[in-house]
Amino acid sequence: MTETVGTTVDTAVELRHVYKRYTTRRSKRGAARVVDALHDVSLSVARGEFVSIVGPSGCGKSTLLKVLLGLTKRTAGEVDFGGGSRMGMVFQQPLLLPWRTVTKNLLIAQDINHRLSDREARERAEAMLSMLGLEEFADRYPGELSGGMQQRVGIGRALMHDPEILLMDEPFGALDAMTRDQMGMDLLNIWERDRKTVLFVTHSIPESVLLSDRVVVMTPRPGRIAEVIDVDLPRPRGLENINTPEFGAIVRRIRVLLNSENSAH
């Protein structure tokens, strides 16, 4: 099932019949190959909505985020931004500059484009450190932080310019299980406070259910939307939700859907 509705002021982003096709370089052994990464993807995301994207490796999840961010050009289709197109991106690795302190890593965008006065940027960085619980680490370097702390800085850096849409590409994939759980709770607290529109790519089905309003389930390549699952669980949520029958039922539904799509291919 795919979704397409008219773009309104309450729609953050809408994709209509988006395709992405790559042509690989010609190898020594043969001709170039054509790879269909995305096939007829239509999706509407409301402002302030938290949407996760799950699917097998190579199904186009990350490609979809790159299309939205403008890092790769779609082959066909339309993308509309209803509430503004300013975006922040969080990658699996925090990609912090090791020679800059935590504060100066947060200020990278300011140093490049000077959208704010230096005083305003510094005040925003201090507020961000407080929100992330990293005030005492302001003058530390990335190598002095744990993996979870580094990823918090990466999230803070993406939020520094107040994006309308936050794109997250498996941001907790490299973390251990306990840190990953805590980061998920930290992200929910940030989202509850600011209600940014979030598109969150993950391989973890329980994580997608715990965090999201809806979960987009994608097929193996070429990536299509198999179904969009509503997560009808009350908010705010905590790790205790994982043990409820309602939570388990949604997780099982997504697993069955993914297994059926994989077997069909």
Domain boundary, last residue among 108, 132, 161: 161
Tell whether 155 and 209 lie within a shared domain.
no
Residue 122 lies in a domain: yes
Q: Is the dihedral of CA 208, 88, 100, 125 positive or negative?
A: negative
256 is a domain residue = yes
List, for residues 153-166, the tens digit of each pLDDT value: 999 999 998 899 99
Residues 18 and 68 in one domain: yes
Task: Show which of 116, 131, 161 is a domain's final residue.
Answer: 161
Q: Are residues 214 and 189 in the same domain?
A: yes
Question: Is residue 2 situated within a structural domain?
Answer: no
User: What is the domain count for the chain?
Assistant: 2
* Residues 173 and 250 occupy one common structural domain: yes
Say how far apart CA 67 and CA 73 lie, in whole Å. 6
Cis peptide before 234 (omega within 30 of 0): no
* pLDDT, position 53: 97
Least Cα distance to 240 among 193, 172, 185 occurs for 185
Range in 30-44, 90-104, 122-136 the model is least confident about:
30-44
Strands 197-201 and 165-169, how do they pair?
parallel
Same domain, 105 and 233: no
Q: Are residues 77 and 134 located together in one domain of the fold? A: no
Distance (Å, rounded) from C-alpha 260 to C-alpha 244? Answer: 25
Which residues, at least 6 apart from 55, have a Cβ–Cβ distance to it below 8 Å? 61, 217, 218, 219, 220, 223, 258
Same domain, 108 and 195: no
156 shares its domain with 196: no
79 and 130 co-located in one domain: no
CATH classification at residue 60: 3.40.50.300
What is the domain extent for residue 150? 98-161
Residue 219 DSSP class: P
Q: Which carries the bigger pLDDT value, residue 74 or residue 9?
A: 74
DSSP track, 87-152: EEEE-SS----TTS-HHHHHTHHHHHH--S-HHHHHHHHHHHHHHHT-GGGTT--GGGS-HHHHHH
Confidence of residue 9 (pLDDT cuts 50, 70, 90): low
Asked whether residue 61 carries a pLDDT value surpassing 80, the answer given is yes
Structural domain ending residue among the three candidates 109, 127, 161: 161
- The whole-number pLDDT of residue 263 equals 66
Residue type (1 letter), 213:
D
> What predicted TM-score, i.e. pTM, was given to this entire model?
0.89
In a domain? residue 202: yes
Co-location of 199 and 231 in the same domain:
yes
Residue 90 lies in a domain: no
∠ CA 240-246-247, nearest 5°, is 50
